Every structure is written in structure tokens, then in C-alpha cells.
Structure 1
Amino acid sequence: MKYKVQIIFRQLLILVCTLVTVIACNEKKAEEAQTPTKPNVLVLLTDQWRAQATGYAGDPNVDTPHLDSLAAISVNFKNAVSGMPVCSPFRASLLTGQRPLTHGVFMNDVQLDTNAVTIAKVFNKEGYDTGYIGKWHLDGHGRLQNVAPGQRRQGFQFWKGNECTHDYNESVYYDNDDPDRKIWDGYDTFQQTDAAIDYIAERKSSKNPFMMILSYGTPHAPYHTAPLEYRNRFDPEKIQLRKNVPDSLQERAKKDLAGYYAHIAALDDMIGKVIKNLKESGQFENTIIVFTADHGDLLGSHGAYKKQQPYEESARVPMLYYIPEKLKIAAGERDALMNSEDIMPTLLSLCNIAIPATVEGLDYRPYMEGKENIGHATLLSCVQPFGQWNKVKHGGREYRAIKTLQYTYARDLNGPWLLFDNINDPYQLFNLVGNEGYRTLQDELEKQLSHRLKETGDEFLPGMEYIKKWGYPVDETGTVPYTN
């Protein structure tokens, strides 16, 4: 009798264990069904943040603890560039994976073709929820204006933003389909961050993964409009300038850099806030995060301000890719010269989405996996010699440049213009064009540049030829209306 009881007890125990296992498996399957199998994508886009201005890049003036932590677990393309370093061209290349002379946005304040094959349209077709928050600058219909729902939003379903503003306190935005102007309450960097966190939280219950671009307007000028608590952290007298800022601009540059770093400190806190919320909501390990900027800022270097020129402070941008562990891509620094048009195909590839034939950029996933060796050189260019920050009197001109891991070589319409050894001369103080000791090198880089231009179909015509080709308006002086 005792033996029979033991057998029955064992059978009951096996049955209970089986039921527990079945229940646990069903719960796991239910949980997996609610979790998108494809990764989410979050692009943190900033405006005018030069690559040198982070703690992890070694800037002595600013601490960026949240970005430093992100960099430590990310792929860091330390030589990434903005191929045409000015706002709208970068943004159009980000959205289309094309170079500016292909998509036509080679200057600010013109509209990206509404028929373009964009990153949002592609992700939509793959079942993603798509959202955009912040500065757009691709509509060409006037600043502070609503980018109307429909084709002009280039496929983004969720929307909280405006065409362009550089007023970062109580600034204008539009909320999805509502045509009435709204005002961000206070510093828009804070409010845009909260809007992004709300969007991400709402996606938690969705069966679809999300792809969102959070587009901040800072640290672009005006430099002195961050909240007081951040401005108080930076004393202009203690700012350490780069060695290429001339004496005549040093006082101004120190003051402006103090404000620039105040914006950066605020952004760093907000990026930390977004990442903290992703972790708390359980979405961090299924989200690809890209942190970058549309271009840099000279801030006195080479005697100039803002962007458009081929110098390091203008053309180099931060480029971090946090990639979930399941994709088995090791974090760490990479040398490759990732360019603006490379972001879209790389993100699509990381999500196992087919790259459209319209895309010209490189897919860097195989490179990150150690399967390909690419990105040894890339192009920089400027079509517009009449922009506010690229006028001839500021040293600006139309140019085409090739950037390698060591050198920057630029040609203007009259011939060779700049040649820098960026390793031995990191502040680009010594122009080697015409230097007898570098004649062979100059000729070799000229051949490389000519080959790249031929390969990309760039005839390097005067800027006005491209203006005429695309039918953009000119004012009574014969130049294109432009703002910064």
C-alpha cells in the first residue's frame, strides 16, 4: 500500500511540474508575441555639435557623463563626417541615403522631393511605427511654418515639430494633424525629450517596433539661451580654446563656447533621461540608438564661425551606434569615415530590411561585424558659395574635398586649395598645397578626388549651375535667399 501511494505521489508531482512548465512556456510565448522581433530604432540628432565637443572625445571644457556611458557600450565612428556640412543637406541625406547632388537639397531652405524614398517610408512598409520630434528643416516653405500632414512629412506617422527655429525657449511646434501652433513650455530641449519618452512609452503596448528621430535644435546658436543652471557651469575665462583660433577672435570665442557647452550639458542630461526610461521600460535591449549631428561649428577656429567649410571643426560629427547584444556586434572605436548618406542603409541592414535601389550610401553592418574593410576615404563638398557662413570674405568657397584617415585635400573651382595632414597637424594649421615635399602626395590625392567625382557623377560646376538645374529661386541680386 505504501508503495502504491509513492507511485501516485510521483505521478501527481510529474503532472504538476508539467503543468507549471506549460504555463510558463505559454506566458513566455505571450510575452514574446507582445515584444517586437525586430529592433526599435532611435536616432538622437543634434544641430551643430562638433565631434570634438564631448567628454569621451577628450574636450577639456565639458563633462558629458551620459554620452560617455553610451559611447562605452557603442560602436564609435570617431572619424564620421557630414559630407556637405550644413543643416538641410545632411538631413536630406539621412532620410534618403543619397548624396546632396542626387536628392537636390544642396543648400538650406529648399524642399526635399515629396516622392523621395525615405527612411520612414521604408520602415512603414516593414510594419514599424514611425515618429519625428523637433527640428525638420526639409520643407522649404518658410521657417516657423507647419509642415502639413501628408507627403511633406516624408512618411513619418507621428509628428511634433516645425520646419525650423533657433528660438529654444517657448518655441513653436505643431502636434500631429492639429493645424494650430503650439508652444513648447520652457526650454524646448526638455519638452522634446519628454515628448519622445511619452511616444516610446506608448509604443510599449504596440505589436510593432518603432523608428523615431528626436531632432534637437541645440547646441546651434544662439549660444546663450540654455537654462541658467547650465550657463552658470561655464566661465568664459576658463575655456580652453583650440590652437587654431586667432587672437582677434579669442575673447568672443570663449564667451560663445561657454554658452555652446551649456547647451551640450543640457543635451547630455536629456539623452541620459531618454536612455534611463528605455531601460526602465525594458526596451533598451531591443533598441538601436544612433547619436549624431548634422554638422559641426567652427566657433572661431580658422578665423570663422558655423559650418560649410571642410575643416575638422565643421565637417566632423559625433557618430555613436548602440547596438543590442543579440546582434553580436562588438562595441568600440572604428576608424572608418562614415558619411551622412551611410546612416540609412546601415540602419536598414541592422534591422534586416532590404536597402532600396535609390540609396547611394554604404551599408556599414558588414564592416561592424568584421566582414568588410571599407570607409578609408570619403567626399566633402560645398555647392553654395553665398551662404551666410560661407562667404568669400569669411574664407568660404565652392569646393570638393577628399578626406582619408590621415589627410584632407580640397580643390576649389580654380584648383588645389587645402591639404592637411590631420594626424601630425590635428588643428590643420599648415596648408601643404604647393609644398614641394608633398607634391607626390598632392597629385595622388588629386587623382583620388577626381576618381570619386567621376564615380559619383559630380561635374563640379559653379554653384549657380546647380541652382538653375533644380529651378530654385534667386533674388534681385542674383543670389539665392538664405538664412543660417
Structure 2
Amino acid sequence: MKSPPNILWIFTDQHRASAMGCAGDLNIETPHLDALAARGVRFSNAYSNTPLCSPFRASLFTGQYSTTHGVISNHRPLLPVQPELPELVRNAGYFTSYRGKWHASGGCFGHHFVSPWFRPGWEDWIGWENSGKSHWDFEYAEQNSPKIHVAKEYMTDWLANSTIDFIQGRQENEQPWFHVVSIEPPHPPRRVPEIYWNQYKDREIVLRENIDPEHPKFGEYLLDLRQYYAQIKCVDDNVGRIVQTLKDTGQYDNTVIAYLSDHGDTLGSHGRQGKSRPEEESSGIPLLISGPGIEHKGTVSKALISGVDMMPTFLGLLDMEIPGSVEGSDLSRLLKDQTAEGAECAYLQYEHCGFPQKANSVWRTLCKNNWKYTWHLAEGEMQLFDIEKDPFELNNLVNDNSSKAVREELLAEMKQKAESINDKFFDRREAFLKGNNWEYLM
């Protein structure tokens, strides 16, 4: 009987979907990520269902939307009241292991120990809640001890080394494993080892069409882009080291590898920096899945998929039962059948990350077929883009009379989706319009 595959998730922070060689970005060479794509499937329409660190991470391990699991901002913890992916695979006989940034226990700043109560199912755990200050000299904890250690290496290198140690330690063990390495870069701060910065500090950057070189902050955007690509180059090299270790230890052929991120970064597109926006640069994420059981290797799938679908998809890939609490879709068929359809839509949510909550930062987006449609709690109907014809989102059709029928159809579907997961967004919109300030808050 064939043994179950190992599962490796390489999970970065703030890596947008377009910033890979295999995605056509001329500013970056990512041979190791490209090799993963060539061995499996690259999803070109993968989205962060909430483009913010903690809410996405909570969705990743619960298969629930942020309004269901309750982590609507970086300040709210994920409470262990629903089945989580590591618990389920552990109960199925897997050894579960985690390395790196956790950021799902409500600690927005600081390097504090994460109680095992907040991370059920992990047998082997080395990490921290959130660093946020430096990618050198960062603090971490090991297993269930609150003792704080300090790492002296660059974070990406250190985490790759720790993952390599883990893989080497499993070489003679027949028990299948599920390992997540959560790498904070390319999230700010943008400092990067000199060997990578030297490759990018003077590099000519090919700008996206939605970056204005006349913008007063363009110099800042350009520096940010160069540092960002240098960070991703470092990530790619370390992905190569991890994959080579799988090969050297004879585990490569029986390991399913997923590379993904929690959200992207606007990096000057549309005159913005950072995350938390519905635009493609912020909400689009890289998603590469390769390994045994993946058919049609080298495929680029245009099927819609988002973070909330990852848990049920991997449970489906392992032929495991999916709990009734899961709201995402099992899209494992996309890994086996090139002609299979993806999710009917991608539904994106964002709440204001802070206190007090502000209506002008709350939005919902529905992606369906080639359309991307956004509503704002305070401003109402905000954006409509034909992503296939307008990938840089330069032509907002929300006030175009010819798009009325499309908008009506998408609005009806958005309301239906919200109702299906008990998201009270449109009720809160009505409360806001009536001036009922407390009723529109989450």
C-alpha cells in the first residue's frame, strides 16, 4: 500500500501574486519557485480572502471566513472552538510541525511566546507571535516553554535552516508529516542581506502600468520595490535549499509542496503602499502546488481559489473527511483534472484593523469569471473591473451605464454569498446610513 504523502507549506508574508518569474515579472528571477510551478500547478487567480496577516492565517487553518472565526483584525486571537487543520491531520496519523511567524493569537506587536492553547494540533513548534521590528536578532520560543531565545541569522535563512534540520530528522521515520514554515519576509522591514541588496540597489525596475512615475512619493516606491525584490530573491534561494534537502533525503517524490502568501503589497500601484486593499497587488497571492498526485504538471490554472479553500482542498487531496464547520471549497479536483472548475466565486472581506473600528475602511469584494466587484461600508458601490481586459485596474466601470446588468447580477450574488456565511455587511451598511454607529461595528 502506498504511503500517504508528506505535506510541506512554504508560507511567506506580503508576497504578491505577480512577483515571480513564472508569473511574468521581469524584475525578478525565481528559478526555484518556477521549478515548483513546472512540477505542479500555478493558480493565477488565487486570492487572499482577507488581505491582512491574522485573519488570513485563521482562515488558512479553519477553512472559515473572518466573520465566522472572529479574527477580523490583527488584534483578535483565533480561539480553538472549531476543528483546525493540524488537529485533523495529526489525528489521521501525521506528525505536525510548525516554524516561524504565528500571528493568530492576538499579539499585533512584540515577540511573545504563543501558548499551546492557541495552536492546537502542533506536536513540534518553534516560532513567535509577530516580530514586526527586525528580521535579524528576532526572538522565538520552542515547543511549550515560555523561555525566549534570540536568533542571530537573517530570518529567512534561519527558518530555512530549521526546516532543513526538520526534514533531515524525518529521513528514517516512516510516519508522514505536515510541516509549515512561515517566513515573514518580504513583509517590512525591508532590510535584506547585502548579497541580495547588491543585486537590486541599482537595478532598473520595470514599472506596472498603474504606478505613476510623477507621483510625489515615487522615489520611495522605487526604493521599496528594489528592497522587496531583493527579499523575494532570498526567499527563492532558500526554497531551493529546502527542496534540495528533500531530494537528498529521498523524500522529494513523496512530498506535496505548496508555496503561498497571506496577501500582497501595493508597492506604489494606484498611489498606495501596503496591504488591506481589494486591488490585485494587495489581494492576489502566489499559489503553487506540486508533488505526487498532481496531474498535468506545468499547468497554469485560471480557476478561482482563495485562502479559505486551502484546508478543505488539502483534506480532499488526502481523502480525509471535511468538517461541517468549513466554509471553503474542496478544490482538490483542480490538482487532478485540468478541465475541472474552481470555486464559483472568490469572496473577499476586510474590516478596519484597529480601535475604534472605522466604517471607511470596511469593504467586500466578489470575484467571478472575469469580474471583480467591490462594495464599501461607508461609500457603497465602489469598484467594478474586468480583470481579463484590465489587469491593472485602470478603468473602473462602476459608473458605466453599460455595466448595469453585470453590477446587478454581481450584487445579487454578493448578497447571497454574505447571507450564506452569516456576514451582516449589508445590514451594517443600512445601519451606517441611518446613523446607528454602534450597529455597524463588528
Do Structure 1 and Structure 2 share a fold, with TM-score over 0.5? yes
Q: Would you say 1:291 and 2:255 are equivalent positions? A: no
Q: How does 1:59-70 map to 2 (within 5 A)?
A: 59-70=25-36
Whether contact under 8 Å (2:99, 2:163) holds in the other structure is yes
Partner of 2:312: 345
Partner of 1:120: 86
Q: How does 1:211-230 map to 2 (within 5 A)?
A: 211-223=178-190, 225-230=191-196
Q: Which amino acid aligns with 2:114?
A: V
Q: Provide the C-alpha distance between the structure 2 equivalents of 1:41 and 1:467, rounded to a whole number of angstroms.
A: 41
Partner of 2:411: 446
Q: Note closer, same or farther for the CA distance 1:334–1:418 as it changes in structure 2 (3 Å cut).
A: same
Q: Note closer, same or farther for the CA distance 1:183–1:385 as it changes in structure 2 (3 Å cut).
A: closer
Q: Would you say 1:133 and 2:92 are equivalent positions? A: no
Q: How does 1:20-99 map to 2 (within 5 A)?
A: 37-99=3-65
Whether contact under 8 Å (1:236, 1:257) holds in the other structure is no
Deviations 1:405-440 (A, max 9, x none): 311111112421001111211111111111112222
Q: Note closer, same or farther for the CA distance 1:144–1:385 as it changes in structure 2 (3 Å cut).
A: closer
Give the superposed CA RMSD: 2.2
Partner of 2:127: 161
Gaps of 5+ in 2: none
User: Following TM superposition, by how much is the alpha carbon of 1:465 offset from its aligned partner in structure 2, in angstroms?
Assistant: 6.0
Q: How does 1:21-420 map to 2 (within 5 A)?
A: 37-141=3-107, 143-148=110-115, 150-166=116-132, 167-223=134-190, 225-236=191-202, 238-246=204-212, 247-248=214-215, 249-324=217-292, 327=293, 329-331=295-297, 332-370=299-337, 372-384=340-352, 397-413=361-377, 414-420=379-385
The structure that has the greater radius of gyration is 1
**Secondary structure at the counterpart of residue 22 of structure 2:** coil
Q: Provide the C-alpha distance between the structure 2 equivalents of 1:235 and 1:199, rounded to a whole number of angstroms.
A: 34
User: Following TM superposition, by how much is the alpha carbon of 1:147 offset from its aligned partner in structure 2, in angstroms?
Assistant: 0.6
Q: Note closer, same or farther for the CA distance 1:44–1:328 as it changes in structure 2 (3 Å cut).
A: closer
User: Following TM superposition, by how much is the alpha carbon of 1:358 offset from its aligned partner in structure 2, in angstroms?
Assistant: 1.4
Whether contact under 8 Å (1:307, 1:314) holds in the other structure is yes
Deviations 1:303-359 (A, max 9, x none): 1111111000000000011131xx252221111111111101111111122112211
**Secondary structure at the counterpart of residue 210 of structure 2:** coil
Q: Would you say 1:427 and 2:392 are equivalent positions? A: yes
Whether contact under 8 Å (2:75, 2:353) holds in the other structure is no
User: Following TM superposition, by how much is the alpha carbon of 1:387 offset from its aligned partner in structure 2, in angstroms?
Assistant: 8.2
User: Following TM superposition, by how much is the alpha carbon of 1:367 offset from its aligned partner in structure 2, in angstroms?
Assistant: 3.2
Q: Note closer, same or farther for the CA distance 1:162–1:386 as it changes in structure 2 (3 Å cut).
A: closer
> TM-score, normalising length from structure 1?
0.84
**Aligned residue pairs, count:** 427
Q: Which moved more, 1:187-196 or 1:358-367?
A: 358-367
**Secondary structure at the counterpart of residue 420 of structure 1:** strand
Whether contact under 8 Å (2:66, 2:349) holds in the other structure is no
Whether contact under 8 Å (1:336, 1:376) holds in the other structure is no
Whether contact under 8 Å (1:169, 1:188) holds in the other structure is yes
Whether contact under 8 Å (2:136, 2:154) holds in the other structure is yes
Q: Which amino acid aligns with 2:268?
A: G
User: Following TM superposition, by how much is the alpha carbon of 1:447 offset from its aligned partner in structure 2, in angstroms?
Assistant: 1.8
Q: Which moved more, 1:157-166 or 1:40-49?
A: 157-166
Question: Comparing both structures, which one devotes a greater share of its residues to helix?
Answer: 1
Deviations 1:352-382 (A, max 9, x none): 2211221111111123323842324211111
Q: Which amino acid aligns with 1:451?
A: Q
Whether contact under 8 Å (2:256, 2:289) holds in the other structure is yes
User: Following TM superposition, by how much is the alpha carbon of 1:196 offset from its aligned partner in structure 2, in angstroms?
Assistant: 0.6
Q: Which moved more, 1:373-382 or 1:279-288?
A: 373-382
Whether contact under 8 Å (2:72, 2:353) holds in the other structure is no
User: Following TM superposition, by how much is the alpha carbon of 1:114 offset from its aligned partner in structure 2, in angstroms?
Assistant: 2.4
Q: Which amino acid aligns with 2:280?
A: E
Deviations 1:74-106 (A, max 9, x none): 111110000110100110011111111111111
**Secondary structure at the counterpart of residue 106 of structure 2:** coil
Whether contact under 8 Å (2:316, 2:332) holds in the other structure is yes
Q: Note closer, same or farther for the CA distance 1:397–1:186 as it changes in structure 2 (3 Å cut).
A: same
Q: Which amino acid aligns with 1:43?
A: W
Deviations 1:387-419 (A, max 9, x none): 89x989xxx631111112311111112421001
> TM-score, normalising length from structure 2?
0.92
Q: Note closer, same or farther for the CA distance 1:442–1:115 as it changes in structure 2 (3 Å cut).
A: closer
Q: Note closer, same or farther for the CA distance 1:115–1:336 as it changes in structure 2 (3 Å cut).
A: same
Q: Provide the C-alpha distance between the structure 2 equivalents of 1:205 and 1:72, rounded to a whole number of angstroms.
A: 28
Deviations 1:177-223 (A, max 9, x none): 33221111220111111111111111222231100110000001112
User: Following TM superposition, by how much is the alpha carbon of 1:239 offset from its aligned partner in structure 2, in angstroms?
Assistant: 1.2
Gaps of 5+ in 1: 1-31, 470-484
Q: Provide the C-alpha distance between the structure 1 equivalents of 2:204 and 2:340, rounded to a whole number of angstroms.
A: 44
Q: How high is the sequence identity, in percent, across the aligned residues?
A: 34
Deviations 1:140-183 (A, max 9, x none): 145210012x3222221111110001310121111223322111
